[in-house]
Amino acid sequence: MKNLSNKWTRAAIPALLLHASIGTVYCWSLFSGHIQASFENAGFDASLLGWAFSLAIFFLGMSAAFLGDFVEKDIHKASLIATICFTVGVVGTGVAIRLHSMVLVLLFYGVIMGIGLGLGYLSPVKTLMLWFEDKKGLATGLAVAGFGAAKMVFSPVIEGLNKAVGVEFALYILAGIWFVMMFTGHLLLKKPSTWVEKHEKFEIKKFFKRFKIFLDPHFIGIWLVFYINIACGLALISHEKDIYTAIGLAGIASILSTVTGLFNAGGRLGYSSIGDHFKNRNTIYKIILISEISLTLIALFTGALSRMETWAVVITVALLLVVNAGYGGGFSNLPTLLSDVYGMGKISSIHGIALSAWAIAGLTGNQIADLIVSKTGNYGDILVFTAIMYGVAIIVDFIFVKPHHATEQ
């Protein structure tokens, strides 16, 4: 019972506390409208505001890529820095609103909070896989599901605070809540005492040498599939509310967003748990991609996203549910797939490098969708882009991502 208890108190619970806090980055749309109004009412330009979210995701991926070794060496210190950076970023965003400084919004929400996101995302993952060695998919799914469920849990809280005290003070209050959650997670997080690993002294040559993994066709394949799944997911998820309005569901858009958020979190837990039962964990990515492209092609050829008929509404909602589930499942299966291929020795470092795909997707996915909609005025045209990309991902997955035995790095 002691070991079972430790699995939850030293891995699962702290991971949920960390990920459920930083996952609120996806609540950006609940802040952005209020921030924009605050700037414009005071006569300030808010045209660059959309870049705050993109920069947060970019620095999440880049900090994970470049600080993976640091997380590997000291998971406890990394989770503390993540807690500080994330909450300072939230508080700083509130101060930026008070000062009507767009530069400070981009700095605090985009850069500083983004670094906290990257360290906070990576910190508990290896710990979970070490404690739940036989159920790695279930373990990482639990934590990453917390990241996906954060929007669903905190959306009503954020909306209530925005109405009660305004966006600036809402951010201060939320920063306090998230600090308590993350600091508690930081204090609890601990690797099993049975796990022993060697850490080499930092050398700049060795630091950059680890990026040679991009010369491995297998890793390139995993990276591309992961990137495409995120970019296509963001292209549709970022326009969910607008799509619901276009098919006549504006009145229940918030309810549907909660449901898709549930599928996003459920996909993270469900797909990764199922992956534990497959000999080749990459089978999950094949299932995700085939389901996504199937619904995308049906919606594309029927023109469902631009119609209000019942059948079109059903297809559109089904598409968004499948995409959300696959989007979440792609995240939770990444570290376990990488550990199956490269072993547990340097998994935080390798996982961090792979998360650079998230950084690039954060700068391209929703921006490409925005460009398509601005040129055509039809949300259904986004599906042309996503169908092509999903098709490329399937080809890459079947050709490059082959079953491998773990080799310790």
Q: Provide the pLDDT confidence category of residue 379 given band limits of 50, 70 and 90.
A: confident
Cα–Cα dist 160/157, whole Å? 5
pLDDT at 201 over 70: no
Same domain as 215, residue 104: no
Q: Does this model's pTM top 0.85?
A: no
Last residue of a domain, one of 171, 187, 203: 187
Same domain as 277, residue 175: no
Residue 203 counted as domain residue:
no
Angle at 202 between CA 197 and CA 203, to 5 degrees: 135
Residue 170 counted as domain residue:
yes
Same domain as 215, residue 68: no
Residue 406 counted as domain residue:
yes
Phi, psi of 277 (to 5 degrees): -95, 0
Same domain as 111, residue 241: no
Last residue of a domain, one of 152, 187, 222: 187
pLDDT computed for residue 152 by the predictor: 80
Residue 180 DSSP SS3: helix
The CA radius of gyration of the chain, in Å to the nearest whole number, is: 21
Residue 201 DSSP SS3: coil
Same domain as 80, residue 180: yes
Q: Which helix (H) or strand (E) holds 169?
A: helix 167-188
- Which residue, 196, 197, 117, 138, is CA-closest to 8? 138
Mean pLDDT across the chain: 87
Count other Cβ atoms within 10 Å, centred on residue 210.
Answer: 17
- For the chain, what is the domain count? 2
pLDDT at 118 over 70: yes
Residue 193 counted as domain residue:
no
Same domain as 218, residue 148: no
Same domain as 245, residue 135: no
Angle at 232 between CA 226 and CA 235, to 5 degrees: 140
Cα–Cα dist 398/400, whole Å? 6
- Which residue, 386, 389, 353, is CA-closest to 369? 386
Q: Which of 153-162, 228-237, 244-253, 379-388 has the lowest mean pLDDT?
A: 244-253
Residue 270 counted as domain residue:
yes
Amino acid at 407: T
Domain CATH number, residue 395: 1.20.1250.20
Q: What is the pLDDT of residues 6-58, one digit of tens each?
A: 888 888 899 999 999 999 998 887 898 899 999 999 999 998 998 898 899 99
pLDDT at 1 over 70: no
pLDDT computed for residue 362 by the predictor: 86
Q: Which domain holds residue 119?
A: 7-187
Residue 1 counted as domain residue:
no
pLDDT computed for residue 103 by the predictor: 96
Q: What is the pLDDT of residues 279-320, one digit of tens each?
A: 888 899 999 999 999 999 999 999 888 888 888 899 999 999
Residue 194 counted as domain residue:
no
> Half-sphere exposure of 15 toward its Cβ, with a 13 Å CA cutoff?
31
pLDDT computed for residue 348 by the predictor: 80
pLDDT computed for residue 198 by the predictor: 61
Same domain as 365, residue 216: yes
Last residue of a domain, one of 119, 154, 187: 187
Amino acid at 250: A
Q: Which of 105-109, 138-142, 337-341 has the lowest mean pLDDT?
A: 138-142
pLDDT computed for residue 405 by the predictor: 52
Same domain as 215, residue 105: no
Q: Provide the pLDDT confidence category of residue 409 given band limits of 50, 70 and 90.
A: very low
- Letter string b/e over residues 6-44, b meaning 16 or more CB atoms within 10 A of that residue's CB: ebeebbbbbbbbbbbbbbbbbbbebbbebbeebbeeeee
Q: What is the pLDDT of residues 333-378, one digit of tens each?
A: 898 888 888 887 778 888 889 999 989 998 888 888 888 988 988 8
- Which residue, 119, 127, 140, is CA-closest to 281? 140
Same domain as 170, residue 29: yes
Longest dimension (CA), the chain: 63
pLDDT computed for residue 85 by the predictor: 97
Higher pLDDT, 391 or 366: 391
Per-residue pLDDT averaged across 210-220, rounded?
86
pLDDT at 3 over 80: no
Tokens 């409208």 identify what position?
Answer: 33
Higher pLDDT, 198 or 239: 239
Residue 60 counted as domain residue:
yes
Same domain as 173, residue 217: no
Give the whole-number percent of the chain exceeding pLDDT 70.
Answer: 93
Cα-based distances in Å from 144 to 130, 225, 328, 332, 334: 16, 18, 8, 6, 11
Q: What is the pLDDT of residues 151-177, one digit of tens each?
A: 788 888 998 999 999 999 999 999 999
Same domain as 234, residue 290: yes
Helices (H), 23-135: 28-41, 51-73, 75-99, 102-105, 113-131
